Amino acid sequence: MSSFKHILFPVDFSEQSCYVAPYVACMARRYAARVTLLHAMELTTGAYPAWPVYGAAIDLQGLEDDRKQRLELFQPTLFEPGASTRLILEGEPAWRIAEFAEKENVDLIMMPTHGYGPFRQLLLGSVTAKVLHDVKCPVWTSAHVREAPAPPSGYRNVLSAVDLTEMSLPLLRWATLFACEQRATLKLVHAIPGAKAPAGFDMEGARFRAALHDLARDEFADLQKEAGTSFEAVVQGGDVADVVRKTAEDTIADLVVIGRGTMSKLFGRMRTQVYSIIRDAPCPVISV
């Protein structure tokens, strides 16, 4: 469930880390949570024959001291010493992030997606992708856009993408509590990949798509009855990421909540859908 008490903020000193910092501070204030700013310092190993020569020339202590200084100077007004901790660990970033999150009972990880440019717009940053795959706690990821995001002011319109599997009830309950804590409205969306209407006349296909929509609406009604909720639900045929993106735009959502790993049974491999939703969403995403 939500009610975050310990937020992990991986920092790599990029522009994207700077963009995310106010969102982390905003979330921490909302929950009176402590924040750990973690920088993972990955050093080249001796995988190359010339490593002893080059390695001897590297001032490892100087490099570590430089990173410590940069971390101490990173957004000092947003993260005061009493409510935050700054930590440097040596090792592969995604592994260190996952290890720390598990050992220190982190409630939420907040990090940028990274990946810009004509080709990189199709990808998530490799560290973010590994963290999404490896950790158990919720992960907040920033909008995958070029422009700097607007300053955060909490969340008012939350959209939850529900896949109508056995994990939908825990997801709906989590999203309901989060929206309540944020004093936000919550809407639901479900995509039916096989029910997108083709161009032209298609009588039999139309009947089949209508049946799929009716089935999904009935399942939504049963789900909400069990959860004790009555949120507006959008059921639409089409690619999952496209439907979620369009609905988020239409509802002016400032946050999307999705289940991480539960989509694999209906919509293909988890990484395909979760990564695509995060990549295409017009706003930040929390994957639970």
State whether 97 and 236 are in the same domain.
Answer: no
The residue length of the chain stands at 288
Residues near 153 by beta carbon (within 8 Å), at least 6 away in sequence: 26
- Considering the domain architecture, whether residues 90 and 222 belong to the same structural domain is answered as no
Percent of the chain with pLDDT over 90: 58
Residues 286 and 226 in one domain: yes
User: DSSP labels for the chain?
Assistant: ----SEEEEE---SHHHHHHHHHHHHHHHHHT-EEEEEEEE----S-STTHHHHHHHS-HHHHHHHHHHHHHTSSTTTS-GGGEEEEEEES-HHHHHHHHHHHTT-SEEEE-----HHHHTTS--HHHHHHHHH--S-EEE----SSPPPPP---SEEEEE---STTHHHHHHHHHHHHHHHT-EEEEEEEEGGGPPPSS--HHHHHHHHHHHHHHHHHHHHHHHHHT----EEEEES-HHHHHHHHHHHTT-SEEEE-SSTTHHHHS-HHHHHHHHHHH-SS-EEE-
d(CA 137, CA 3): 12
Give every CB contact of residue 16 below 8 A, 6+ residues apart in sequence: 112, 113, 114, 142
CA-CA distances (angstroms) from residue 253 to 230, 232, 235?
18, 13, 16
> Are 1 and 141 within one domain?
yes
For the segment 57-68, the average pLDDT, to the nearest whole number, is 79
Q: Residue 84 maps to which CATH number?
A: 3.40.50.620
Same domain, 164 and 287: yes
Distance, in Å, from the CA atom of 220 to the CA atom of 176, rounded to the nearest integer, reads 15
| Burial of 272 per CB tally in 10 Å (0-12, 13-18, 19+) | middle
111, 146, 181: which is the final residue of a domain? 146
Model pLDDT for residues 175-192, shown as the tens digit of each residue = 999 999 999 999 999 998
Per-residue pLDDT tens for 119-164?
444 456 788 888 998 999 999 999 877 666 777 888 999 999 998 8
The domain tally of the chain equals 2
116 and 175 both lie in a single domain: no
Amino acid at 192: I
Residue 160 is predicted with a pLDDT of 97
pLDDT, tens only, 3-57: 899 999 999 998 889 999 999 999 999 999 999 999 998 875 544 444 444 445 5
Range of the domain at 182: 155-288
Same domain? For 94 and 164 the reply is no
| Same domain for 259 and 210 | yes
Amino acid at 91: G
Torsion, Cα 234 147 184 38, to 10 degrees, reads 120
Last residue of a domain, one of 146, 181, 204: 146
Q: Do 141 and 163 fall within a single domain?
A: no
**Given 126, 146, 166, which residue is the final one in a domain?**
146
